[in-house]
């Protein structure tokens, strides 16, 4: 079902007596290229985008934040897709080029009995006709200030580059989770700062986050990062013992200051990860779900795909390519 669930992300929130299920996407959902050539290529791309949209409608998508590829056929077509969507398009820093007005809602608030979760849309700067992109960090700060007394959990849907991501980390902002597109690598865990996850660029994976909430005022601990950090640096330290597991590393490398510094860094990382697990209040558990090449078990989505294939056959003839790989 690759093309139909490109970089979809599932969040399953669990609190006392509450189970909520969200499907969100951080951008580059509808198209796989920066621009689409006119003619048959354009017609084909638009039919594929309709298949994706209708499938996300059927799955019950919660929110979508556009990325640069989503403007591949122009702003007006993306706005047409928005009208057909059963879920909101959100972005706090995409503006009209002439009037400098925000095109989409800045965020989505989902209010529950015990807490409120905010999904915020954001993108790094790119160039497209008819739109302008505001400074990501400045616009994000404005939104977070607005949400200060409105939300308990802030999830950022971010189509962004490393420079902007680092700027967000350096500001110590009130963000609980970042779901990121515009990155070719798949995350193994969320990292040591704000838990940040990328699903890669091939559209063949869904990420599931289980948010276990005990105290809404506390940050989330990324359990996968803690486990991976402890295992990774413990293995490194053991290798440095050169087969003698009882060796004292500081004595073994006492004449090598650079190696001693590295040992201290490894030990500090292990201590940090263990401390986070010991002080765990709210936890984030991350799972990667690999998608197959076909859709199984969802008759409604199979019907959407079949209808799309029929439209493509009218354009391309009987030698129809496998649209599920697009």
CA-wise closest residue to 287 among 144, 186, 145: 186
244 versus 50: which is more confidently predicted? 50
CB of 32 closer than 8 Å to CB of 87: no
The answer on pLDDT for 17 being more than 60 is no
**Which pLDDT band, with edges at 50, 70 and 90, does 164 fall under?**
very high
Q: Give the whole-angstrom CA distance, residue 226 versus residue 216.
A: 21
What DSSP character marks residue 219? Answer: P
Q: In angstroms, rounded to a whole number, what is the distance separating the alpha carbons of residues 233 and 235?
A: 5
Query: Could you tell me how far CA 244 lies from the centroid of its own chain?
Result: 43
The phi, psi pair for 9, rounded to 5°, reads -130, 135
Q: Are strands 153-159 and 116-123 parallel, antiparallel or unpaired?
A: parallel
Separation of alpha carbons 200 and 284, rounded Å: 20
Whether the model pTM is above 0.85: no
CB atoms within 10 A of CB 315: 12
**Per-residue pLDDT reduced to its tens digit, 190-210:** 777 888 988 776 666 777 888
- CB-side exposure of 17: number of CA atoms within 13 Å? 4
Q: 């985008």: which residue's tokens? A: 49
Where exactly are the structural domains of the chain? 2-218+281-325, 223-278
Within its chain, how far is the Cα of 53 from the centroid? 18
CA atoms within 13 A on the CB side of 118: 25
Q: Convert the pLDDT of each residue in 55-112 to its tens digit.
A: 999 988 999 999 999 999 999 999 999 999 999 999 999 999 888 899 999 999 998 7
d(CA 143, CA 156): 11
Q: Give the CATH fold of the 2-218+281-325 domain.
A: Purple Acid Phosphatase; chain A, domain 2 (3.60.21)
């Amino acid at each position: 079902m690759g093309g139909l669930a490109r970089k979809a992300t599932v969040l399953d929130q669990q609190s006392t007596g509450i189970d909520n299920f969200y499907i969100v996407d951080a951008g580059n959902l509808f198209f796989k290229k920066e621009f689409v050539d006119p003619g048959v290529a354009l017609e084909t791309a638009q039919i594929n985008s309709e298949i994706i949209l209708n499938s996300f409608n059927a799955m019950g998508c919660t929110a979508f934040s556009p990325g640069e590829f989503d403007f591949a056929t122009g702003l007006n077509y993306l706005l047409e897709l928005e009208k057909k969507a059963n879920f909101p398009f959100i972005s706090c820093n995409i503006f009209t080029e002439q009037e400098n007005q925000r095109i989409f809602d800045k965020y989505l608030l989902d209010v529950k009995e015990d807490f409120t979760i905010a999904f915020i849309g954001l993108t790094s700067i790119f160039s497209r006709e008819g739109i302008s992109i505001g400074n990501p960090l400045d616009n994000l700060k404005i939104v977070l200030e607005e949400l200060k007394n409105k939300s308990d959990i802030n999830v950022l849907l971010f189509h962004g580059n490393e420079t902007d991501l680092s700027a967000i980390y350096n500001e110590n902002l009130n963000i609980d989770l970042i779901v990121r597109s515009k990155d070719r690598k798949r995350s193994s865990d969320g990292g040591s700062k704000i838990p940040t996850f990328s699903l890669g660029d091939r559209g063949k994976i869904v990420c599931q986050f289980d948010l276990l909430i005990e105290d809404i005022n506390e940050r989330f601990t990324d359990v996968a990062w803690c486990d991976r950090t402890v295992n990774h640096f413990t293995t490194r330290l053991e290798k440095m013992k050169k087969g003698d597991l009882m060796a004292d590393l500081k004595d073994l490398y006492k004449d090598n200051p650079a190696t001693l510094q590295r040992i201290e860094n490894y030990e500090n990382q292990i201590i940090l990860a263990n401390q986070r697990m010991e002080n765990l209040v709210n936890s984030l558990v991350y799972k990667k779900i690999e998608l197959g090449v076909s859709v199984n078990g969802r008759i409604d989505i199979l019907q959407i795909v079949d209808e799309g294939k029929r439209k493509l056959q009218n354009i391309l003839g009987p030698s129809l390519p496998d649209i599920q790989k697009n």
